[in-house]
Amino acid sequence: MTSPETLLATLTPLLAAESRAEAAAAGIDPADLEQAVWLRLLERLRADDAPERPADWLRRAVRAEARRARRTSGRERPYREETPHGPEPDHGSPEGSALTAERRRTLRAAVTRTPGRCPRLLNAMLDPADPTYREIAGTLGISQGSLGPMRSRCLGCLRRMLAAEVPASGRRGRVRGTDR
């Protein structure tokens, strides 16, 4: 079996090239794609399931991650500033203040349930003092360059969690009409 260090050294240039080639069509950053594939490889190595032909496996893994990213981006929708029941109440009103406070509580609760280092990162990003990337990276003890990909993964996780908790607007499924 090849050591992880040897695999890393031999596969890094191939992974970078494959990720650059696939990322644009998937609509994601090549570095995010690379990181996802490295994670899949490390999970396999941890399970003592190293691929026999790592280069071929890597190419397939990049394409699979790119397909997953395309499917995910097809389901994600930007948040609209309206509730499903009409326009947002005035934030100066008691109703608007109550809705804003409830949204903040929901967001903070979801942030605490995110995995790994995501709660610390997301809380730092939600800080009212609006710290810079450099300040956040220093606080968390990570490099500034890894902050962007980590932020992207954490926000994606948070988005999926909130999407599962907040019902989608509009009707879903088949609607039967009376003029059949």
Identify the DSSP state of 82.
S
Asked if 65 contacts 33 with a C-beta cutoff of 8 angstroms, the reply is yes
Give the tens place of pLDDT for each residue, 48-86. 777 788 889 889 999 999 888 888 776 666 666 555 544
Residue 98 is which amino acid?
A
Q: pLDDT by residue (tens digit) across 125-174?
A: 888 888 888 999 998 998 888 888 999 999 988 888 877 766 555 555 55
Beta bridge partners of 83: 86
List the alpha helices (DSSP H) in 47-92: 54-75
DSSP strands (E only) in 20-102:
none
Separation of alpha carbons 167 and 180, rounded Å? 29
Average pLDDT taken over every residue of the chain:
80
> What's phi and psi for 27, nearest 5 deg?
75, 30
What 3-state DSSP class applies to 101?
helix
Per-residue pLDDT tens digits for 83-116: 554 455 565 788 888 888 888 888 888 899 988 8
What is the rounded CA–CA span in Å between residue 178 and residue 143?
61
Neighbours of 11 (CB within 10 A): 19
d(CA 114, CA 76): 18
Rounded-to-integer distance, Cα 90 and Cα 16, Å: 49
What is the three-class DSSP state of 109? Answer: helix
- What φ, ψ does residue 169 adopt, rounded to 5°? -80, 155
